[in-house]
Amino acid sequence: MNRQAGLLALFAGAFCIATSAIWVRLSELGPVATAFWRVALALPLLWAWACAVSVSANAEAGRRFRWPLAAAGACFAGDLALWHGSIVLTSVANATLLANFAPIFVTLAVWLIFGRKPSGRFVAALAVALAGTVVLVGASMGAQAGMPASGRIPAADGSLRLVGDALGIGTAMFYAAYQLFVSRVRSSVSTASVMAWSSLACATVLLPIAVASGETLLPSSLHGWGILAGLALTSHVAGQSLIAYAIAHLSPTLASVGLLLQPVVAAAFAWQLLGEPVGTMQVVGGTIVLAGIWLATRADRPGHT
């Protein structure tokens, strides 16, 4: 039952964070400033939630697990900052694809650091899901290339593109580290406390990065604040909280593979809300991703080797 609840929470969280790109696209601010407000506006709700669950337990979590929770928040800040930088410097396809390689780093870390070698069936399922992601993202970029120039996000050329690709890989590594830090404390710390403390650390790291980036820090309209509030509530309060809950009931490797649902849902949202076309190859890629996730849930069951 706990495993089923974890999977449902994971997939619901993936649906929520799949809206992130749309909110960021609509934001009046630059990508790093938007990332900061995504977390900062969520903090009052997250801390109210943590204190409502248990003030003493939340305080105890801060004392006993200060550094793992701070590390989780710092890693999530790195994930957001590098991801947004990658989008600017390389192609959208490369940035999206490389950022979704987090399951590879999670699987390797669990094997090399914690000594839990993945089964052959799980590795095969991971390969299927990643292959589907390659097809999905490649097809999405091809569809974007056929759009009018105003509908595309230009990327830098030359050596800067290589820097952007490196940032995309760094994004995957930071998000993998975030998942692993959260998984290490979830057996002892509530979801509310994980989100409150790690988000505080994340906002603390993102603020100076946003200032150093030179981006405008405040929206110019109520509409702009509304976009940021929607991003905070949907992607962070709802999405990341559901994922943090799921991590308590799933292995880190399965949770990471399950989150590959996010680019599939993001493509569907972009089609419905932004009018971005969806072609046959995107449908094929999304179907392969879903098949890989299903195979991973089967391979990760206790007793499978």
pLDDT in tens, 255-289: 777 777 776 776 676 666 656 666 677 677 777 77
CA–CA gap between residue 45 and residue 131 (Å, rounded): 38
Greater confidence (43 vs 278) lies with 43
* CB distance 175 to 111 below 8 Å: no
Global pTM reads 0.78
Which candidate, 70, 263, 98, 287, places its Cα nearest to that of 184?
70
Q: Whole-number mean pLDDT of the chain?
A: 80
Determine contact, residues 146/220, Cβ cutoff 8 Å.
Answer: no
Q: How confident is the model at residue 103 (pLDDT cuts 50, 70, 90)?
A: confident
Rounded CA gap, 292 and 104, in Å? 14
Q: Is residue 154 pLDDT above 50, yes or no?
A: no
- CA 136, CA 130: separation in Å to the nearest integer? 10
- Mean pLDDT for 233-259 is 85
- How do the domains of the chain map onto residue ranges? 2-299
Token pair of 198, please?
């790690």
C-alpha atoms less than 13 angstroms from C-alpha of 113 in its C-beta half-sphere: 11
